[in-house]
Amino acid sequence: MASIDLDKMLAKIKSTQWALSDIDWDAPGAELITEEQWPKLKDFMADLMWIEHVGARAFAAMAKKAPTDTLREIYTYFHAEEQRHANAEMALMKRWGMLEGDEIPEPNINLRLVIEWLDRYSDEMPVYVLGTVVPMLEIALDGALCTFLLETVKDPVCHQAFEKINDDESRHLGVGFSVMEMQGRGKTFIGAAKMLAPLLDPRLMLGIASYVPLLNKMRDNIITMGLPEERLYAAMAKFEKIGGRTEDGRRNPWFQVIRQHARFVVDRNNRAYHLPVDGMVKLTGLIPRRALPAVPSWVKELTYQPTA
Amino acid sequence: MLIVGAGFAGLGMAIRLKQAGIDDFVILERANAVGGTWRDNQYPGAACDIPSNLYSYSFAPNPNWSRSFSGSEEILGYIHHLVAEFKLESHIRFEKNVEDLSFDEKKGVWTATTDKGEKFAGRAAVMAQGPLSNCSFPAITGIEDFKGHKIHSARWDHDYDFADKKVAVIGTGASGIQIIPELVKQAKHVKVFQRTPGWVMPRPDFATPQWNKKLFEKLPASQQAMRNLLYWTHESMALAVIWNSPLTRVAERVARLHLRRQVKDRWLRRQLTPDFTIGCKRVLVSNDYYPALQKDNAKLITWPIARISEKGIRTVEGIEHQVDCIVFATGFDVSHSGTPFPVKGRKGRVLGDEWQGGAQAYKSINVSGYPNLYMTFGPNSGPGHNSALVYMESQLDYAVKGVQKILQEDLKVLDVKESVQRKHNKAMQKRLAKTNWNSGCKSWYLTEDGFNATMYPGFATQYAAQMADFEENDYETA
């Protein structure tokens, strides 16, 4: 991917805005959700919505550390756009009768830990750390989940919403990969090593400790929903393919870290990785909700209502 | 003599001319009342963020300020008092909207032409139209589609009743943070749309006790002492606000503590924390802005605005925020590169053309090629840390010296030399490069290209010293 003109991208982002009220959430088609689909879809949508929301918070952190004004503004828009995706997905849940009253569905414990970490430490992280992790999450989880959703759900309103969401996401990925390349450009060995220094930062270690089990947890959820896990791995392979297509991209040490990690995740036979990580998933599952601090207030900004 | 504008600057000029024994002048005012910025900015909560004892003329002290930071109405009252006390009314011509100002070199006369074609002539002219006198609605997509009520902070609609209304406020600058607490008291719900948070300092605002007013009245020296104290306190703030110094960190720390003390929620605090060096944009002062945002009927929205629609404001998170009224606290149209009306100098030169790349003057007050013309708050005269009126006083006195010279020596032309002006600006921009204003944030101080034609890079004392001497050698005469 040739690197993109970020100023043009920003103009494009501004000129392609959409709102929840552009979609008729009461249009016919909700009945196309089968009874068998319904409970699985409910869990699936809740996970998806939370991933978007977590992505949103990550973009907010990146906006703080962005190296240029243009990139800062782009990330500010992406922050809001991810929130819009979460809002739209919640509106779909509402349409399908999956929300009890006005209640926001609970995030699973691993997402909850990631939310906690993002809230406390993400603003302190250098832009290249989140700048690599976020494209991975977007391409893998978003990518795999969205395709699966569109294949199995016949409701036209769902298709209408995801057409818009996917258009946004393609821009997010375009910028994401371009920035990864920017960060790798002309990096010497020492420069690259410096970029890896935050790995020794205990705050980042905590972040890794919440990110790693999240991926395995999501894999398990995907299997429960009936999506073959290979689909997830195929999406993760795209990260390696696109992120590593230029020398600059490959020179970004964080690309190498995330790529290597993805290889571990994909290889089910790698017991040295999966045994402890699956253990972590189980262990985190035992954390009582009461032990966690109250959810940060940005979480309460979610809404399924097109107008306020 | 011609004076354009009957705000603080124009009236102050008139007073100083009178005190110097020059009585033959007119003040051309486009509106039908005096007061300029303070006449226009009468929105709820409007106040000055410099203490009144410093934000007033030293040659016209007012012992009766009701508070340390007076409201807009009281300041306007002071301006009316100046007109009465110094008998200026007969000099003012209302509803004279100047559309052209031209110099006739042969006669040595400036002629102002109004929009109705009336002409006024004088041997010297003072442009006192004010830097913050024009405003307009911002160019947000869809603004003309909005069916509800629109109000600009600088043109307040006093007839609109906010009770039971859902209101949006766009802008959280100096005006916004004063309006918002008042609207939260009156309206049913207030949504505040913020693009960039500013640094907010606590405001030590107290009612003036009766004994204090009496003391100032009986013993004017005590009020002068108070003024001096305020002056030097503000001067010391220059070290924090104008240049990046250890005191800058202290000021940021004070603002952060203020935020932390008033806002408990971590995310809200994050939304309200600026990411630029304090002083780069105007420093805000308020005690009630943060608490107002946390009231049940208020909400801060930091999502970017996608567009304005028929019923409200659509933000990028996909939600349409429907409101009855939008208040635009979006500031003024500050010109860095043009003039408010065509100003034509020697040999047909037009000032607006010369200023296209950014306005430049000599000592902020004269421009080469435009003789006998004096500007108040001209290029590079803005203070970031002290009272604008302190700066104004030195400008007025400088202009009086120039006008006296023209009259005493019967000059047709008193024009600053181009080389002198160039040298002055070279030094000015060199000094500006080291200030916080030029440290990378976007603000109304700078042009789109980042040229600073607005602020004076130094202490008020340095500015006063710059204006104290009228160097005759800097000028050519005819």
Domain boundaries, given as residue ranges, for chain B:
2-134+335-477, 143-199+243-328
pLDDT of residue B415: 97
Those residues of chain B that have pLDDT short of 50 are none
Residue B389 to residue B13: CA distance in whole angstroms: 12
Residue B315 sits at the chain A interface (C-beta within 8 Å)? yes
Q: For B318, name the nearest residue in chain A, comparing CA atoms only.
A: A19
Residue A77 is nearest to which of B314, B316, B321, comparing CB atoms? B316
Count of H-run helices and E-run strands, chain A: 13, 0
Residue B349, both tokens: 């030169």
Residue B320 is nearest to which of A19, A76, A88, comparing CB atoms? A19
Residue A19 is nearest to which of B270, B319, B442, comparing CB atoms? B319
Q: Give the fold, CATH level 3, of A6-15+35-287.
A: Ferritin (1.20.1260)
User: What is the rounded average pLDDT for all residues in chain A?
Assistant: 88
Contact in structure between B474 and B362 (CB atoms under 8 Å):
yes
Residues of chain B with Cβ-Cβ distance to A296 below 8 Å are 266-267
Residue B319 is nearest to which of A73, A87, A296, comparing CB atoms? A87
Q: For A296, name the nearest residue in chain B, comparing CA atoms only.
A: B267
Q: Closest Cα of chain A to B302: distance in Å?
A: 9
Contact in structure between B267 and B157 (CB atoms under 8 Å):
no
pLDDT of residue B24: 96
Point out which residues pair with B452 in neighbouring strands. Answer: B446
Would you tell me which residues 4-23 of chain B have a C-beta closer than 8 angstroms to some C-beta of chain A? none
pLDDT of residue B304: 96
**Strands B373-375 vs B125-127: parallel, antiparallel or unpaired:** parallel
**Strands B189-193 vs B119-122: parallel, antiparallel or unpaired:** unpaired
Q: For B304, name the nearest residue in chain A, comparing CA atoms only.
A: A77
Tens digit of pLDDT for each residue in A67-120? 899 999 999 999 999 999 999 999 999 999 998 877 888 888 888 889 889 988
Sheet strands side by side (includes B189-193)? B149-152, B325-328, B166-170, B189-193, B298-301
B414 phi and psi angles, rounded to 5 deg = -130, 100
If you ran DSSP here, which 8-state letter would residue A23 be given?
S
Number of Cα atoms under 13 Å in the Cβ half of residue B238: 18
The mean pLDDT value for A211-235 works out to 84
Residues of chain A with Cβ-Cβ distance to B270 below 8 Å are 123
Residues of chain A with Cβ-Cβ distance to B306 below 8 Å are 14, 17, 19
pLDDT of residue A3: 66
Contact in structure between B126 and B32 (CB atoms under 8 Å):
no
Q: What percent of chain A has pLDDT over 90?
A: 32
Residue B320 sits at the chain A interface (C-beta within 8 Å)? yes
Q: Give the fold, CATH level 3, of B143-199+243-328.
A: FAD/NAD(P)-binding domain (3.50.50)
B101 phi and psi angles, rounded to 5 deg = -135, 115
SS3 assignment, position A158: helix
Count of A–B CB contacts within 8 Å?
65
Residue A156: pLDDT band (50, 70, 90) is very high
Amino acid at B192: V
Tens digit of pLDDT for each residue in B38-83? 999 999 999 998 999 999 999 999 999 999 999 999 999 999 999 9
Provide CB contacts within 8 A for B462, sequence distance 6+.
none
Listed by start position, the domains of chain A span: 6-15+35-287
Determine whether the interchain pair A308/B322 forms a contact, defined as Cβ–Cβ distance below 8 Å.
yes
The mean pLDDT value for A293-302 works out to 85
Cα dihedral B449→B454→B457→B463 (10° resolution): 160
Residue A257 to residue A180: CA distance in whole angstroms: 13
The closest alpha carbon to B300, from B351, B333, B263, belongs to B263
Sheet strands side by side (includes B305-308)? B305-308, B312-315, B320-322
Residue B476, both tokens: 């050519």
Distances (CA, A) of A239 to A132, A176, B9, B384: 10, 11, 64, 50
Same-fold call for B2-134+335-477 versus B143-199+243-328: yes
Question: Cβ-count burial of B445 within 10 angstroms (0-12 exposed, 13-18 middle, 19+ buried)?
Answer: buried
**Which CATH code fits B2-134+335-477?**
3.50.50.60
Residue B157, both tokens: 């609609």
Contact in structure between A192 and A253 (CB atoms under 8 Å):
yes
E strand intervals along B48-148: 92-93, 98-104, 109-114, 119-122, 125-127
Residue B72 to residue B154: CA distance in whole angstroms: 12
pLDDT of residue A1: 46
Determine whether the interchain pair B304/A77 forms a contact, defined as Cβ–Cβ distance below 8 Å.
yes
* pLDDT tops 60 at residue A2: no
Residue A117 sits at the chain B interface (C-beta within 8 Å)? no
Residue B319 to residue A93: CA distance in whole angstroms: 17
* pLDDT tops 90 at residue A146: no
Q: Closest Cα of chain B to A41: distance in Å?
A: 23
Mutation pick from A297, A299, A302 vs chain B, by most beta carbons of B within 10 Å, is A297
Q: For B265, name the nearest residue in chain A, comparing CA atoms only.
A: A297
Residues of chain A with Cβ-Cβ distance to B315 below 8 Å are 80
Determine whether the interchain pair A77/B268 forms a contact, defined as Cβ–Cβ distance below 8 Å.
no
Q: For A118, name the nearest residue in chain B, comparing CA atoms only.
A: B267
pLDDT of residue A236: 87
SS3 assignment, position B315: strand
pLDDT of residue B319: 96
Determine whether the interchain pair A119/B306 forms a contact, defined as Cβ–Cβ distance below 8 Å.
no
Residues of chain A with Cβ-Cβ distance to B319 below 8 Å are 19-20, 87, 303, 305-308
